[in-house]
């Protein structure tokens, strides 16, 4: 089956026949359809995979080029047009068609805001109709139509072809790679606004742009009119040169035809659009579940988990495998546990930090955030983290020719490294493809949660009553957000920098990379200090605070409640620069920041032996400092290190 192309006609459009011919030559089946047939339902956009707005003089350009036709479409079939776009189908507008797309607000749609006008095509600088041949130089590979192209030699024929946009919009177009072609010299150098190479005075020599998906293209020149080699103005000279070289004289100008073939190939290679052509019955894979890829991904995670079993070798939690198979049984022997051994389960997830990993397409460290949340929570009560199981829900693992196995390998590598840092074994897990139930950024979305089995000696549990006046509070440094307060941070950055805030440079790094900084895992160091389930303590600990949601005031306040004591924290670590930047952008008060984020302190250890704790932390590669002490006075006093510290040097909670 051939891809079906709808070539729009009516009310002054006059390039439909050559456009239909070109698409058919490229391998498609094309129909010329009057706009009224779409409006009255005789024809439907749903039956086509490519929509073309050809050149011409719709409505005689009496109200400005393309405006009247755009209004007719907006008032009658705009919903159907948006559904066409949502289905990942293709649209191209040529000359007057480009003007229609701009007036409809389908281009450039900088924030996928289809329907809002952001640029204009206006009167040529020459104040007259320009009909001449020009050269175009490709600027971006984003557009589906521009694949395998470089320089095009094509004609223009318009009176209102000057592309205009504000400097802010031009900057976004450039950053998003939405500028597809610019007017150029024959050698490919840009025209730099010089007439007639830039025939209309378009700003920045822009001749064609696309939307952010690359599936909608608008261009002022006419590639369909450059189809035949003999159409070019220099044909006779080139033909004579080829004859003298005894070379074949081509019938077609391949670069022009390639632009249309790219659209045909896109449809044939698209998993759903190609199936639409074949009219095949749906399979489980069509619903977004690929059984074979699911098995491959499960095996990747199994082999990653298997590498973590050595973390508990010779310890409680050593994994016993009766037979080695990724769907087989894994157990631990608990028959020799002494009296007073307690076991507990804990559950947590990464939250919206996965959306940042999706933005960067970097999933190699997100497991540190997952295991930090469950394992570091366990040591707060004096437990030793032992076994982890997780459930990973993804929207889709892709298809055979566009799988997400690379992303799964990134997750698996991080899983192994994080489990080693936490000294736990990953014993089980579940992977599921849930389609649209899992949303996110880009085309690979997931939620990842984990359950943890931890053990403790009843006599070594922290209850809060162990804390004494005069105990030192040792802070363990955290370089990032961990997995808390990111909904607020993402909102602030989006409001300040737009949808693609993660690409914004800050101190030589992107904001996205800084926000993705992996959580420090502290539990192995705390177990070493405390002794865990079976070893002697190396330092006396009276309490541990995992600084997550609620910040220091919430989490420290909770464990101080049984003793009725307070804390004076005069030397906490400074917040990460990205936190202070976020505070400034969002005008977030310091007290709110300390209640929301860790502010540079991922864990607090309450101890009468701070020197031992500091030494052991250093041995585990953790930066630590004595941040304050426990006081008889209730409440928590913090020496402020937020953005407003000069005005409010101390915060009381």
58 and 76 together in one domain: yes
- Residue 176 belongs to some domain of the structure: yes
Mark whether 320 and 205 lie in a shared domain. Answer: no
pLDDT surpasses 90 at 84:
yes
User: Do 8 and 87 have their domain in common?
Assistant: yes
Start-to-end C-alpha separation, the chain: 70
The catalytic position among 153, 158, 222, 542 is 222
Which of the residue ranges 59-73, 209-223, 260-274, 430-444 has the most confident prediction, judged by mean pLDDT?
Answer: 209-223
Statement to judge: residues 138 and 270 lie in one domain = yes
285: pLDDT strictly greater than 70: no
Residue 270 has pLDDT above 50, yes or no: yes
Domain boundary among 278, 297, 316: 278
Residues 271 and 342 in one domain: no
Q: Between 523-530 and 610-619, two packed helices, what is the crossing angle to 10 degrees?
A: 130
What pLDDT does 59 receive? 87
Mean pLDDT, residues 10-37: 96
pLDDT of 282 higher than 50: no
- 95 annotated active-site: yes
Tell me the average pLDDT of the chain. Answer: 92
Q: Would 170 be classed as within a structural domain?
A: yes
CA-closest candidate to residue 141, choices 171, 104, 114, 179: 179
Q: Which of 269-273, 415-419, 574-578, 612-616 has the lowest mean pLDDT?
A: 269-273
pLDDT tens per residue across span 145-189: 999 999 999 999 999 999 999 999 999 999 999 999 999 999 999
Residue 289 confidence (pLDDT): 54
Q: 42: pLDDT confidence band, cut at 50, 70 and 90?
A: very high
- Whether 469 and 574 map to the same domain: the answer is yes
| 283 domain-assigned | no
> Mean pLDDT throughout 446-468?
93
- Cα(623)–Cα(633) distance, integer angstroms: 29
What are the angstrom distances between the C-alpha of 375 and each of 318, 340, 453, 460?
A: 17, 21, 9, 17
> Cβ–Cβ contacts within 10 Å for residue 234, how many?
11
Residues 95 and 156 reside in one and the same domain: yes
Answer yes or no: 542 catalytic: no
Question: What pLDDT sits at residue 402?
Answer: 81
- Amino acid 284: pLDDT: 47
Lowest mean pLDDT among 157-161, 405-409, 463-467: 405-409
Does 520 share its domain with 438?
no
Assess if residue 241 is contained within a domain: yes
Per-residue pLDDT at 404 exceeds 90: no
Catalytic residue among 118, 130, 160, 224: 224
Q: Which domain holds residue 107?
A: 4-278
- CATH number of the domain encompassing residue 143: 3.40.50.880
- Residue ending a domain, among 411, 438, 459, is 459
Number of structural domains, the chain? 3
- pLDDT value for 326: 46
**Partners of 456 in the β-ladder:** 342
Residue 293 scores a pLDDT above 80: no
The pLDDT of residue 291: 62
Phi and psi angles of residue 210, each rounded to the nearest 5 degrees, phi first: -130, 170
Q: Is 138 in the same domain as 255?
A: yes
Q: What is the CATH number of the domain that holds 634?
A: 3.90.650.10
Chain segment 294-317, per-residue pLDDT in tens = 777 888 888 888 888 889 988 888
Structural domain includes residue 156: yes
Task: With a cut of 80, say whether residue 372 has pLDDT above it.
Answer: yes
- In 139-281, the DSSP E strands lie at 151-158, 162-164, 179-184, 206-210, 216-219
**Higher-pLDDT residue of 577, 321:** 577
Supply 412's token pair. 């698996």
Asked if residue 288 has pLDDT above 60, the reply is no
Question: Does 396 or 217 have the greater pLDDT score?
Answer: 217
| Burial of 295 per CB tally in 10 Å (0-12, 13-18, 19+) | middle
The 3-class SS string of 258-303 reads HHHHHHHHHHHHCHHHHHHHHCCCCCCHHHCCCHHHHHHHHHHHHH
> Which of 95, 210, 375, 523 is labelled catalytic?
95
Looking at residue 445, the DSSP 8-state letter turns out to be -
Summarised one tens digit per residue, pLDDT across range 117-137 is: 999 999 999 999 999 999 999
Q: Which residues contact 646 (CB under 8 A, 6 or more apart)?
A: none
242 and 98, same structural domain?
yes
Q: What is the pLDDT of residue 154?
A: 97
Would the pLDDT of 287 be above 70?
Answer: no
Residue 455 lies in a domain: yes
* Percent over 90 (pLDDT), the chain: 80
516 in the same domain as 397: no
Among residues 408, 437, 459, the one where a domain terminates is 459
* CB 291, CB 402: distance < 8 Å: no
Q: How confident is the model at residue 272 (pLDDT cuts 50, 70, 90)?
A: confident
- Clarify whether 222 is annotated catalytic: yes
For the record, the structure tokens of 28 come out as: 């498609």
Q: Are residues 473 and 417 in the same domain?
A: no
The model's pLDDT over 529-585, given as tens digits with 9 standing for 90+, comes to 999 988 899 999 999 999 998 999 999 999 999 999 999 999 999 999 999 999 999
Residue 270's region, left for phi above 0, alpha for psi from -120 to 50, else beta, is beta
Q: Quick check: is 507 in a domain?
A: yes
Confidence of residue 61 (pLDDT cuts 50, 70, 90): confident
| Higher-confidence position of 462 and 325 | 462
* Concatenated DSSP letters of 525-569: HHHHHH-TTTS--SS--SEEEE--TTHHHHHHHHHHTTTT-EEEE
pLDDT tier, 329 (very low <50, low <70, confident <90, very high otherwise): low
pLDDT computed for residue 281 by the predictor: 44
Task: Tell me, yes or no, whether 213 lies in a domain.
Answer: yes
Which has more confidence, 324 or 381?
381
């Amino acid at each position: 089956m051939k891809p079906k192309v709808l070539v729009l006609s009516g009310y002054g459009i006059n390039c439909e026949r050559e456009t239909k011919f070109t698409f058919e030559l490229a391998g498609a089946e094309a129909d010329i359809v009057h706009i009224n047939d779409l409006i009255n339902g005789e024809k439907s956009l749903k039956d086509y995979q490519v929509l073309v707005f050809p050149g011409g003089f719709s409505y005689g350009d009496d109200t400005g080029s393309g405006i009247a036709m755009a209004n007719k479409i907006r008032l009658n079939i705009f919903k159907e047009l948006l559904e066409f776009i949502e289905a990942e189908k293709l649209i191209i507008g040529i000359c007057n068609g480009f003007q229609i797309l701009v007036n409809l607000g389908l281009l450039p749609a900088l924030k996928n805001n289809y329907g809002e006008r952001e640029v204009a095509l206006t009167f040529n600088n020459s104040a007259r109709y320009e009909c001449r041949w020009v050269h175009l130089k490709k600027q971006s590979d984003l557009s589906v139509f521009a694949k395998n192209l470089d320089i095009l030699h094509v004609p223009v024929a318009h009176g209102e072809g000057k592309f205009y946009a504000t400097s802010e919009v031009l900057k976004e177009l450039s950053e998003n790679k939405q500028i597809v072609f610019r007017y150029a010299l024959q050698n490919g150098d840009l025209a730099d606004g010089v007439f007639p190479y830039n025939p209309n005075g378009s700003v920045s020599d822009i001749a064609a742009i696309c939307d952010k998906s690359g599936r909608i293209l608008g261009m002022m020149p006419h590639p369909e009119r450059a189809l035949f080699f003999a159409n070019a103005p220099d044909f006779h000279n080139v033909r004579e040169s080829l004859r003298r070289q005894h070379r074949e004289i081509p019938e077609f100008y391949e670069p022009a035809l390639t632009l249309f073939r790219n659209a045909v190939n896109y449809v044939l290679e698209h998993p759903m659009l190609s199936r639409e052509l074949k009219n095949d019955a749906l399979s489980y894979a069509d619903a977004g579940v690929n059984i074979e890829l699911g098995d491959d991904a499960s095996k990747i995670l199994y082999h990653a988990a298997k590498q973590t079993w050595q973390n508990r070798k010779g310890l409680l939690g050593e994994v016993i495998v009766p037979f080695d198979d990724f769907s087989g049984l894994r157990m631990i022997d608990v028959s020799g546990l002494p009296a007073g051994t307690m076991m507990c389960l804990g559950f947590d997830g990464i939250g919206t930090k996965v959306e940042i990993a999706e933005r960067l397409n970097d999933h190699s460290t997100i497991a540190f955030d997952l295991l930090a949340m469950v394992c570091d929570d366990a040591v707060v009560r004096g437990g030793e983290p032992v076994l982890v199981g997780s459930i990973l829900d993804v929207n889709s693992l892709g298809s055979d020719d566009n799988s997400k196995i690379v992303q799964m390998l990134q997750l698996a590598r991080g899983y192994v490294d994080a489990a080693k840092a936490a000294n736990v074994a990953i014993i089980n897990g579940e992977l599921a493809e849930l389609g649209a139930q899992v949303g996110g950024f880009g085309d690979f979305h997931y939620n990842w949660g984990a359950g943890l089995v931890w053990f403790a000696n009843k006599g070594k549990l922290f209850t809060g009553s162990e804390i004494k006046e005069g105990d030192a509070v040792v802070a363990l440094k955290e370089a990032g957000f961990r997995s808390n307060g990111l909904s607020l941070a993402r909102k602030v950055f989006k409001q300040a920098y737009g949808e693609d805030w993660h690409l914004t440079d800050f101190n030589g790094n992107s904001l996205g990379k800084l926000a993705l900084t992996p959580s420090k895992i502290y539990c192995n160091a705390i177990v070493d200090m405390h002794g865990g389930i079976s070893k002697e303590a190396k330092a006396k600990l009276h309490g541990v605070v995992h600084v997550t949601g609620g910040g220091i005031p919430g989490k420290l306040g909770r464990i101080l409640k049984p003793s009725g004591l307070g804390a004076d924290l005069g030397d906490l670590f400074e917040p990460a620069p990205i936190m202070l930047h976020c505070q400034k952008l969002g005008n977030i008060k310091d007290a709110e920041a300390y209640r929301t984020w860790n502010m540079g302190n991922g864990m607090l250890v309450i101890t009468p032996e701070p020197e031992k704790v500091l030494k052991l932390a250093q041995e585990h590669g953790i930066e630590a400092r004595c941040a304050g002490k426990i006081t008889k006075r209730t409440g928590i006093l913090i020496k402020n290190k937020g953005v407003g510290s000069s005005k409010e040097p101390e915060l009381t909670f």
